[in-house]
Chain A
């Protein structure tokens, strides 16, 4: 900016209107998305996870290419199954995959939010599904590796209200061998068309049964003894 004096003695200020803007600083890209997910951190976590786990994923072609979907998985207590499923699916499909169930306390909440975590609220999930996101929901965690817990019908209701398909999915992991398997079933549909909230209750039941069936289909020896509870082979959510 330059100043000068006109003939009448008034001070003239030349503002730099129309001057080219200074080149914007281009720091390294390190952004978060609309929900606070950090794709760089997700990529790093996936690479670290590969050092420990080998993964077999099948059925991912059933997922819609662009639209949103709710993927419901069985979960074993303390196993963080929805987190690992979301990371694995995201790596395979190349899409942003979020999971339900991050806490809202520091430091775990912010870290899980960077990995794609959503709060366990139906309205939060509804927003993500409406935006066309893939969302992984864990059934209620159970101790037995071959059982599936209750599926939250309120979150299923978010999928019903946004007309989003719901995919029952079975996960099996073996901490000893480091192998994990994810099988995505075909989209579940409620048995009868309902006008009220019964549809979400019935769909949650259908999803639960379908996950149990997928778990049974994945096989593995069933001895009927305490050995079934130990993750020796590919077993357990």
Chain B
């Protein structure tokens, strides 16, 4: 098991660099390399890194096949309105999945793939299960869910053809002090919209727990999906209340206006976040212990309380104008 080469795609982002930092400490990881369009957000001591854009197909194939990884951890997923508009997020995610996973399939040493997914993949159509477990049907009802379903399908097809273990970390909405989360941004606004007729509950998870899940899944060569969410649930109204924000009641036609105003205030809201606020988003996390050996140490309410305690961006003006 020792002496394995691990490739982390999306190593530049907050989540990818956290995963890389955890994998650096694993004794079974001999070599660690990463790809992303942005440089890593934290100091990595052992890992090497290549700055590459998702559409640079030939370069990605060359880098991946030269490295010949045993394990691929695919974190390169752009959530709509986290760091890119929905159209660009879809394009980047699709390009990255096709290039990186496609190149990994050509590597003779490949043993397992761990892909980033989300509980948006289950969808929230009428009559859909309230807390879907991993066996629930994949029926996405938002753009982000369809993107994630596409990644899982691509990885699953590779696993079937090559005969390797493929797992998906289906994480709830991730919040963290440096995570560019559209839901986190919305909840941080001075006024938070909530569905007055439903105000459904949703669950979130902290970034450190998700990073740990990726590291364990890579180590254990997990071969099935696992829901990674914190225990408990909260509604938008309750979150706003806890954060000292003004809850704004909204009924169905008002969501378009609310979305527009939120976008103008610097917190654009993608359709999967609107779906979360209108229909809720929960998942059964009972298999985390069995598959990953741990459960999230913070509950959803703790994470929301932390969200409001994390300091905002402090802008420090330049002391002197640059020449």
- With A13-B316, A21-B309, A34-B232 as given contacts, are A107 and B197 in contact (CB-CB < 8 Å)? yes
Inter-subunit contact B305/A119 (CB<8 Å): no
- Complex formed: what's the CA distance from A13 to B316 in Å? 9
Inter-subunit contact B238/A32 (CB<8 Å): yes
- With A32-B238, A121-B129, A124-B129 as given contacts, are A25 and B198 in contact (CB-CB < 8 Å)? no
B131 — nearest CB in chain A belongs to which residue?
A127
Question: Measured between C-beta atoms, what is the minimum distance from B43 to chain A in Å?
Answer: 16
- Complex formed: what's the CA distance from A22 to B319 in Å? 29
- With A24-B305, A36-B200 as given contacts, are A119 and B133 in contact (CB-CB < 8 Å)? no
- Complex formed: what's the CA distance from A107 to B243 in Å? 26
Question: Measured between C-beta atoms, what is the minimum distance from A159 to chain B in Å?
Answer: 16
- Complex formed: what's the CA distance from A42 to B255 in Å? 30
What string of 1s and 0s marks CB contacts (under 8 Å) between A95-122 and chain B?
0000000001111011001000011010
- Complex formed: what's the CA distance from A25 to B242 in Å? 7
Question: Measured between C-beta atoms, what is the minimum distance from A54 to chain B in Å?
Answer: 33
Residues 197-256 (chain B) with a chain A CB within 8 angstroms? 197-201, 203, 231-235, 238, 241-244
Inter-subunit contact A123/B200 (CB<8 Å): no
- Complex formed: what's the CA distance from A25 to B235 in Å? 17
Does A30 make an interface contact (CB < 8 A)?
yes
Size category of the A interface is 20 to 34
Residues 5-39 (chain A) with a chain B CB within 8 angstroms? 5, 11, 13, 16, 21-22, 24-25, 27, 30-36
Does A232 make an interface contact (CB < 8 A)?
no
Inter-subunit contact A124/B130 (CB<8 Å): yes
B300 — nearest CB in chain A belongs to which residue?
A34
* Set B133, B243, B280: member contacting A36, Cβ < 8 A: B280
Residues of A within 8 Å of B314, CB to CB, are 1
Residues of A within 8 Å of B282, CB to CB, are 34-36
A15 — nearest CB in chain B belongs to which residue?
B314
Inter-subunit contact A35/B241 (CB<8 Å): no
Does A3 make an interface contact (CB < 8 A)?
yes
Interface residues of chain B, those whose CB is within 8 Å of chain A, are 126-133, 135-136, 197-201, 203, 231-235, 238, 241-244, 280, 282, 284, 286, 301, 305, 308-309, 311, 314, 316, 319
Q: Can you pick out 7 interface pairs between chain A and chain B where the beta carbons lie within 8 Å of each other?
A: A16-B311, A24-B309, A30-B238, A35-B201, A104-B128, A123-B132, A124-B129
Q: A36-B130, A119-B127 are in contact. List 17 more A-B contacts (CB 8 A).
A: A3-B316, A11-B316, A21-B309, A25-B243, A31-B234, A32-B234, A34-B131, A34-B231, A35-B201, A104-B127, A109-B198, A110-B198, A118-B130, A121-B129, A123-B133, A127-B284, A131-B286
